Amino acid sequence: ARPLVITDEKTWSYKDILSWSEKIAAGLIESGVKPGDHVGLLMGNFPAFVAVKFAISRAGAVAVPINFLNRRDELGYVLKQSDAVLLITMDQFRGLNYLKFLDELMPCWVQSGGGDAFPRLKKVVLFPCSGQAVPEGVQLLNTFGNSATKTTVQHPGPYSHCDIIYTSGTTGSPKGVMITHDMMLRTAFGSTWGRAFQDGHRILFSLPMYHVYGYVEGLLACLFVGGTIIPQTRFDAAETLQGIDKHQATDVLLIPTMTLALLDELKKTTYQLSSLTHVISSGGRAPTYIWQDIVTYLHPKEITTGYGMTEVTASSTVTRPDDSFERLLNTNGRLREVGPAGDPSLGHRLVVYRVVDRETGIDVAPGEVGELLAKGPGVTAGYYNKPEATAEAFTQDGWFKTGDLGRIDADHYLTLMGRSKESYRCGGEQVMPTEIEDLLVTHPAVLQAHVVPVPHDRMGEVGCAFVVWRDGQHAEPEELLDFCTQNLARFKVPRHVLVLKADQIPVTPSGRARKFLLIQMALKELHLG
């Protein structure tokens, strides 16, 4: 039997996952979960995630995958706002104690679910993964469904919701993006088709499957070629490279910060990587030197980068294997064609973009910068239980406002320029933080750079640069400011430099810095608020 999930400890075949998901689905239905109900899933990249995710769909329910980095109040917000009727959760993970959170949110959760505080939540099922003692009487995932009778698969239809995925956006509070089965599968097929997966393709990743990148581009995409996923529960550069060799991975999913860490590891230690044929590094801006280093140290046959967001299901622009190196250096790929899964009237795509002037909403000329608007069958219909946010997210003629700034050339290649809400004005001049960030990461000591605005009495706003040093490197803040002064107009030069470790940068599931949280950190550190 073909393997579907491989870990260092065990391999699960397609048949194993099928049987496992059938049992859990029976448990869901026995617990009163009905087609269309919402089931919360708080779990890292364990094989159980795969079985539970398929089980929720098998029961005709809607999955609410929850960010496992959420703290108590964030967890409570998602459970309540999503109207979840059942929660499947880990006990502890990465230093967070979810049982303690549940005790504080709903003291009687073991006996009666959410109680008065969360009246829709009827049951909590526990996936113990930390070794700590579990409360007496709690329903455990490994016995869930044992006593249930086998159930038939529920078929709510391709255009019904399969997921409500909460964005932990770069500029505000989370919103539940509604995604259908049709959107998920068409987009996943597009990844398989566009990246030319071969029979039995093996994808290794540590990107969380509660997010569309790991879930769609990893798990769902591999199914179309009888492939395999090798999920890792955390990112570690050495463990990633060891995993590629040990499990003969053909593909690895990365965000730029991960790619940089892999390259640093490869400059110190040798790995074979003979099985690796595909690399995708996407989800954020990257220094231009990264692509040549990928060729030199990872030597895949195909390198891909792209652009996407939860609201457009996953990657909606990608580079092609036969693209020139300049396309990797200077663009985020071409509007994604997905073959037979696409809309013929949209050039066999699921998502198309317009670039408009931010003030007037009028289309700009090809190659000019403006706000990106998206439309197509891969675009969400809106946010769950947030009619005002949904209305604000779309133009009157139905185009989704991404909040991203970019340009699209005559050949349909997109180049991202940053977030419209992240730009600021210094002395009346508009500043795009990405320009400063792109410069700072060319400094030999800087691994990451994130620039945010902070208030200034005379200039209105000035820049504050958060930097992460490369291993064994550092520089004085004055040196970085001088470096900026030599290369940028005066109004673009940050006034402040703050140093953080990589794990102190608050990020979204796709690895983008949550700028509004960095602003709060800057205000506190600089005593400005």
How far apart CA 54 and CA 61 sit, in angstroms, is 10
Q: Identify whether the C-beta of residue 47 lies closer than 8 Å to the C-beta of residue 231.
A: yes
| Beta bridge partner(s), residue 228 | 202
Q: What angle do CA 236, 242, 243 make, to 5 degrees?
A: 85
How far apart CA 35 and CA 58 sit, in angstroms, is 9
Helices (H) and strands (E) in the chain, counts: 16, 28
- Quick one: how far is CA 51 from the chain centroid? 20
pTM of the model: 0.85
Predicted pLDDT of residue 172: 54
How far apart CA 297 and CA 266 sit, in angstroms, is 7
Q: Identify whether the C-beta of residue 376 lies closer than 8 Å to the C-beta of residue 168.
A: no
| Beta bridge partner(s), residue 39 | 63, 86
Q: Identify whether the C-beta of residue 191 lies closer than 8 Å to the C-beta of residue 179.
A: no
Contacts of 49 (CB under 8 A, 6+ apart): 41, 43, 209, 231
Q: Identify whether the C-beta of residue 7 lies closer than 8 Å to the C-beta of residue 231.
A: yes
Which residue stretches of 305-364 are H helix? 325-330
Q: Identify whether the C-beta of residue 475 lies closer than 8 Å to the C-beta of residue 443.
A: yes
pLDDT by 10s per residue, the chain, length 529: 899 999 999 999 999 999 999 999 999 999 999 999 999 999 999 999 999 999 999 999 999 999 898 888 889 999 999 999 999 999 999 999 999 999 999 999 999 999 999 999 999 999 999 988 999 999 999 999 998 877 777 778 999 999 999 986 544 567 999 999 999 999 999 999 999 999 999 999 999 999 999 999 999 999 999 999 999 999 999 999 999 999 999 999 998 888 988 999 999 999 999 999 999 998 766 778 899 999 999 999 999 999 999 999 999 999 988 899 999 988 999 999 999 999 999 999 999 999 999 889 999 999 999 999 999 999 999 999 999 999 999 999 999 999 888 999 999 999 988 777 777 878 767 688 888 998 999 999 999 999 999 988 778 789 999 999 998 899 999 999 999 999 887 889 999 999 999 999 998 776 778 888 899 899 999 998 6
Judge residue 2's burial from the number of C-beta atoms within 10 Å of its C-beta, 0-12 exposed, 13-18 middle, 19 or more buried.
exposed
How far apart CA 212 and CA 351 sit, in angstroms, is 15
Token look-up 């990589």 returns 502
The CA-atom distances, in angstroms, between 80 and each of 38, 59, 85, 115, 116 are 11, 21, 10, 12, 12
How far apart CA 433 and CA 443 sit, in angstroms, is 16
Judge residue 493's burial from the number of C-beta atoms within 10 Å of its C-beta, 0-12 exposed, 13-18 middle, 19 or more buried.
buried
Q: Identify whether the C-beta of residue 126 lies closer than 8 Å to the C-beta of residue 118.
A: no
Predicted pLDDT of residue 170: 47
How far apart CA 253 and CA 298 sit, in angstroms, is 13
Contacts of 188 (CB under 8 A, 6+ apart): 216, 217, 220, 221, 223, 224, 314
Range 223-226 contact pairs with CB under 8 angstroms and sequence separation of 24 or more: 223/188, 224/188, 224/189, 224/192, 224/197, 225/192, 225/197, 225/198, 225/199, 225/200, 225/201, 226/2, 226/14, 226/199, 226/200
